[in-house]
Amino acid sequence: MTPLDVATWIVRLAGAYAAAGLLFALLFLFVLRGVDRIDPSARAGSRGFRWIVLPGVAALWPLLLRRWLAGASEPPEESNAHRRAAAGGRG
């Protein structure tokens, strides 16, 4: 395989991923509005918000698709040393 072949495949795969992401983003943000289901703050969000997060949704679509399919209704809770210790219970 020549460098040109490798580069062609990389660009094709990246293009397919980006195209799938763009399609997902349009459905997720504007048509099926999955974003409203996984994040309550999106329901009252502006249209401008949907456009401004579109590039990120197209880039990280597998993460959001997984959360949407899993039926998430709130953003995840963050984890740090204090929160882990508090969740572990105390005497």
Applying CB under 8 A, the residues found at the interface with another protein are 2-4, 6-8, 10-11, 35, 38-46, 48-49, 51-53, 55-56, 59-60, 63-64, 67, 75-83, 85-87, 90-91
* Helices (H), ranges, 1-91: 3-26, 34-38, 40-43, 47-59, 61-69, 81-87
Nearer to another protein, 33 or 55 (CB): 55
Q: Length of the chain, please?
A: 91
In the complex, the smallest distance separating the C-beta of residue 47 from another protein, rounded to whole angstroms, is 8
> What is the smallest separation between the CB atom of 86 and another protein, expressed in angstroms?
4
CA distance 33 to 74: 15
Query: Could you tell me the two tokens for 66?
Result: 């997984």
- Give min distance, CB of 77 to another protein, in A: 7
Hey, what are 16's tokens? 């397919």
Q: Which is nearer to another protein, 31 or 59 (CB)?
A: 59
User: Could you tell me if 58 and 21 are in contact, meaning their C-beta atoms sit under 8 angstroms apart?
Assistant: yes
Nearer to another protein, 19 or 40 (CB): 40
